[in-house]
Amino acid sequence: MVTPSFLHDFAITKKYAIFVDIQIGMNPIDMITKGASPVGLDPSKVPRIGVIPRYAKDETEMRWFDVPGFNIIHASMLGMKRML
């Protein structure tokens, strides 16, 4: 990742943890140096979903999938009766 995404939520299943890398990013330096919002949009960035086994030994087991046009803040569903 070149710049950190706004990661507000992620999902966990019995076998995997799922993260999103979206076009909404965080840049706290802009807030400090320019008085600007630390949250911004990078329309040139292609959003993606990262899937990693829950018990992965390290980050090399993470697989990323490009999903153009996909921007999500909440990935979880409260009150879900069963885990996928």
- Say which range, 2-16, 41-55, 59-73, has the weakest mean pLDDT: 2-16
Residue 59: phi and psi, rounded to 5, are -70, -10
Binding residues for Fe cation: 8, 74
Give the pLDDT band of residue 54 (cuts 50, 70, 90): very high
pTM: 0.72
Tokens of 58: 């390290």
Contact 65/19 with Cβ under 8 angstroms?
no
Average pLDDT, the chain: 84
Binding residues: 8, 74
Q: What is the mean pLDDT of residues 16-38?
A: 88
Q: Structural domain boundaries of the chain? A: 11-66
